[in-house]
Structure 1
Amino acid sequence: MVNEKPLYKMKEYGTINGVRLSVKSAEILQREFGHVLSLRAIPGNAWEITAFSYVGRIELPDAVFLILPKLPIETVWDWLVWAYDISSLRFYPPVTTLAEMVGDPEWLVKFFVKECRSLCRTGLRTGYQAHTEALEEVRGQLQTTATLRRWMKQEYRFVCEYDEPTHWVRENRLLYAGLRDMVSGRYKDARVGRDIRNLLALFEPQEGKAAAALPVSVRDKLAELARLPLTRLNRHYARAFTWLRLYWRATSVSIGEGGVPYESFVLDMNELFESYIARRLTEELRPHGIAGHAQTRHWLGETGGIRIVPDLILKDRSGREVVLDTKYKLRTAQSENPDVFQMLAYMTARRASAGILLYAAGPERADKIKHTDKTIYRWSLQSEVSDSYEAHEKKLTCIISRIIHQFQKEQLS
């Protein structure tokens, strides 16, 4: 009987003591997941492990770590829906517990596979691939110089350049790369692996040069995905790309002893909170004539030497602006000054008179800055991190109303 690996459960920013790891596992954890968990050696040949602002599951050769969010599952699920524009999740959540959601990416893979199957049914996008070949008869464009060289060697064939239809276009290459990454996963539902293998056969290029045309690292894959514009010709790929982007951003594979792969799944809650707020406010404020511009670059120095990137710039039709920056943390007195100085830099660069620091939780306040027309508002999405989904929605509705009032030149409360 195979021994089960020890399972260590913890929450965001939580700490557990007395963890025993092999040298190999400790190296993997420090090298590949140092941004997720910190390790500190303690007496007794053990480790003290502290989680940062990530949730998910990390599998090592001799241990499994499950990091749970402090938020209710409905709230985290809603953030995922908005951040990645996955409308189908609003009506059919495939998981029922936080541990199930962050512990295994199988639900994510299932949604991706479903979209790929739908694309195959409706028809994959095709393009043309250039070929240069020596033929018995002319096809396409004759390459005169190359043909004469052959004839001088008494090789009486025509060197032609022609285009052939192919489905090995950028969109399908990326989906194929995702399927290749997913096929080695271990799934509770045996149908998942079978469906992935069947899809791989459908996406496999006839030319047999798939591996050479695929990006290798996750960073390269995400960059290739970001460079691919959505047009009327490939817009039906959008949902599959959304699932693929989430999969590549959240999953990683560690190779343990004997070449055995261990798949992990982690979500950056800072990034998730930022993306959720940006998309949600942009959608909710648009009907009121207020546009949202997320992660745009600006410069504080006159010569462009100091680059700043606020999370969200809100602007109405008259050009008035409010700068908003998200902070996925509990607002405390210790964290106030750095956050305020950061917001002052944003507001100075944008010449904005109002700035909002939006925290995940904590008390609220507003401060008018001396000798300026600037006011910084420190608001929170929740009173406590563990507030219910209903309380979260109620508070967000209130924040949206405050922003609208600001643009209507009403006093913020």
Structure 2
Amino acid sequence: MSSAPGAGPAAGVRTGAGGSPTPPEVTLREYGPPVSVPLDATAGRNLATSGILAGAAPDPGRGGHWLLRAGSRVGAVRTPGGPILRIMPKTPVSRLFFLLGFSLDPDRAWRDSREGTIDTGGYEDIVPALAHAVERQIDGALRKGVLQGYRAVEESALVVRGRLREAEQIRRHFGRMPPVEVAYDAYTTDTAENRLLRAATERLLRLPGVPGAVRRRLAHQRARLADARPLVRGQELPCWQPSRLNSRYQPALRLAQAVLRGTSPEHRPAGATPLAVDGFLFDMNKLFEDFVTVALRESLRHRGLTAHLQDSHRLDTAGLIRMRPDLVVRTGDGRTAVAVADAKYKIEKADGRLNADLYQALAYATVLGLREAHLIYAAGRQSERYHEVRGTGMAPDGRRLRLYQHSLDLTRTPGELLSDLRDIAGRLAGDAPPS
């Protein structure tokens, strides 16, 4: 919320001694009111084009200030020449991590719908909770020792080991020995799994707002993983395959990957100059979509149906207009579509009408040849409602094409949330009559 001209420091801005913002630290609320922040023009323009915020514009009432407004991204980020941004979510942190844990790995312990499945240490801010959770998961993974595995090595050596790379020997050394160009499989702790865990600890140690006690434990975990090579910034993350040997690592690995993908060093639209930042940001739109679709997929699987996430289709006969419903439900053999759904991290309007969403759902149902489509919102006035579409003709049961709107309440307990999604899965499967 912006302050009146001539007032003290802007709400949400932490100032240093004497009231000077050095460095500025700004707290915003997800989809909350804008906050007036003292910024120079360069830092303001950087934030405006970064994609981090929903809005950044000069404050017309205060010279040298910018109005910053958060959107769906929550977390903390430090920008060059700008403030440290802390964006607080509307959803309680413990619930947010339940959504994350379930969408990452519904088949493991995170699926038992307990609030504390991912240990956040009681922290109410995302970064401390994330750092604590990752450190606890890594500690559990390393409790029986650091995992070792075979890694393909190609190097110059003084002795022959493994296989001689003859072509490289001739190209580099004209056939003379030593050194010799060799290739062999090394049994080492420098594996993809350990490299990911090390990179996650190093990334978290660079984040603003990690408590001292958690920081010390993270540094200890990094020392235990010191033999794993650091990742090269900007390169793809190393691949790993779930197996019996790395089963104790898997929860930590999935959380580590979420950290590394959520701390991208570039937060600018395609074609713009990259803005190097340090931080971690959850996109609540993506998190809600992942949770809803994964939970529905698991429930539908038990009903003998298959669920395709982000299923690609073409709207027009020329195949020029692509559309990707969040979830397409098909028969067990995957051939016939029986339902389609889209998750929307937004609040349903008071009159229940979100026209663009309804048009989108109608397009999905038309292309897939279905008599209904479903929209699932993060909040709403009714748990379920539907609209019958004029001009769509009557089905044998006397119904026109229907567009359903379902609402979830993210303040409910994890068990209640999963129960609500099981009910929606029943509607998609045709098990329950419309309310």
Q: TM-score, normalised by structure 2?
A: 0.73
The answer to whether the Cα contact below 8 Å between 1:320 and 1:407 also exists between their aligned partners in 2 is no
Please identify which structure carries the higher strand content. Answer: 1
Please identify which structure carries the higher helix content. Answer: 1
CA distance in 2: counterparts of 1:151 and 1:245, whole angstroms: 41
Quote how far apart the aligned CAs of 1:356 are: 0.3
**Are residue 26 (structure 1) and residue 26 (structure 2) matched?**
no
**Are residue 68 (structure 1) and residue 83 (structure 2) matched?**
no
> Residues 352 and 198 from structure 1, CA distance in 2 versus in 1: closer, same or farther, beyond 3 angstroms?
same
Percent identity between the two aligned chains: 25
Q: Which residue of structure 2 aligns with residue 354 of structure 1? A: 372
Q: Which residue of structure 2 aligns with residue 257 of structure 1? A: none
Between the two proteins, the alignment pairs up a number of residues equal to 386
Q: Map of 1:190-205 to 2, 5 A cutoff? A: 190-205=212-227
Q: Which residue of structure 2 aligns with residue 277 of structure 1? A: 292
**Are residue 371 (structure 1) and residue 395 (structure 2) matched?**
no
Q: Which residue of structure 1 aligns with residue 130 of structure 2? A: 108
Secondary structure of residue in 1 paired with 2:296: helix
Secondary structure of residue in 1 paired with 2:408: strand
Q: Map of 1:144-223 to 2, 5 A cutoff? A: 157=178, 159=180, 161-163=182-184, 164-185=186-207, 189-205=211-227, 210=229, 214-217=231-234, 220-221=235-236
The answer to whether the Cα contact below 8 Å between 1:150 and 1:157 also exists between their aligned partners in 2 is no
CA distance in 2: counterparts of 1:175 and 1:145, whole angstroms: 36
AA at the equivalent of 1:331: E
CA distance in 1: counterparts of 2:195 and 2:288, whole angstroms: 31
> Residues 129 and 412 from structure 1, CA distance in 2 versus in 1: closer, same or farther, beyond 3 angstroms?
same
CA distance in 1: counterparts of 2:280 and 2:61, whole angstroms: 30
Greater mean alpha carbon deviation, residues 49-58 or residues 348-357: 49-58
> Residues 299 and 77 from structure 1, CA distance in 2 versus in 1: closer, same or farther, beyond 3 angstroms?
same
Q: Which residue of structure 1 aligns with residue 254 of structure 2? A: 242
CA distance in 2: counterparts of 1:34 and 1:132, whole angstroms: 42
Q: Which residue of structure 1 aligns with residue 407 of structure 2? A: 380
CA distance in 2: counterparts of 1:108 and 1:308, whole angstroms: 34
**Are residue 404 (structure 1) and residue 407 (structure 2) matched?**
no
> Residues 15 and 401 from structure 1, CA distance in 2 versus in 1: closer, same or farther, beyond 3 angstroms?
closer
275, 286, 291: which one aligns with 2:301: 286
**Are residue 52 (structure 1) and residue 71 (structure 2) matched?**
yes
The answer to whether the Cα contact below 8 Å between 1:135 and 1:158 also exists between their aligned partners in 2 is yes
RMSD after superposition: 3.9
The answer to whether the Cα contact below 8 Å between 1:147 and 1:157 also exists between their aligned partners in 2 is no
Quote how far apart the aligned CAs of 1:27 are: 4.0
Mark the runs of 5 or more structure 1 residues left unpaired by the alignment: 255-260
**Are residue 130 (structure 1) and residue 153 (structure 2) matched?**
yes
> Residues 379 and 111 from structure 1, CA distance in 2 versus in 1: closer, same or farther, beyond 3 angstroms?
closer
Quote how far apart the aligned CAs of 1:134 are: 5.7
CA distance in 1: counterparts of 2:16 and 2:214, whole angstroms: 24
CA distance in 1: counterparts of 2:265 and 2:178, whole angstroms: 50
> Residues 322 and 113 from structure 1, CA distance in 2 versus in 1: closer, same or farther, beyond 3 angstroms?
same
Q: Which residue of structure 2 aligns with residue 14 of structure 1? A: 32
**Are residue 342 (structure 1) and residue 342 (structure 2) matched?**
no
CA distance in 1: counterparts of 2:146 and 2:129, whole angstroms: 25
AA at the equivalent of 1:43: G
Q: Which residue of structure 1 aligns with residue 242 of structure 2? A: 230
Greater mean alpha carbon deviation, residues 182-191 or residues 317-326: 182-191
**Are residue 90 (structure 1) and residue 88 (structure 2) matched?**
no
AA at the equivalent of 1:289: G
AA at the equivalent of 1:90: E
AA at the equivalent of 1:82: F
- Superposed CA deviations along residues 101-120 of structure 1, whole A, max 9, x for unmatched, are 23xx1332233233333444
The answer to whether the Cα contact below 8 Å between 2:131 and 2:210 also exists between their aligned partners in 1 is no
CA distance in 1: counterparts of 2:37 and 2:420, whole angstroms: 44
> Residues 132 and 270 from structure 1, CA distance in 2 versus in 1: closer, same or farther, beyond 3 angstroms?
closer
Quote how far apart the aligned CAs of 1:244 are: 1.4
- Superposed CA deviations along residues 345-388 of structure 1, whole A, max 9, x for unmatched, are 22233222221011222245312332245321112224xxxx74
Greater mean alpha carbon deviation, residues 12-21 or residues 393-402: 393-402
> Residues 83 and 38 from structure 1, CA distance in 2 versus in 1: closer, same or farther, beyond 3 angstroms?
farther
Q: TM-score, normalised by structure 1?
A: 0.76
AA at the equivalent of 1:190: G
> Residues 371 and 169 from structure 1, CA distance in 2 versus in 1: closer, same or farther, beyond 3 angstroms?
same
**Are residue 325 (structure 1) and residue 342 (structure 2) matched?**
yes
- Superposed CA deviations along residues 290-335 of structure 1, whole A, max 9, x for unmatched, are 3332223233344543322111122343745210101111223596
Q: Which residue of structure 2 aligns with residue 315 of structure 1? A: 330
Quote how far apart the aligned CAs of 1:49 are: 2.5
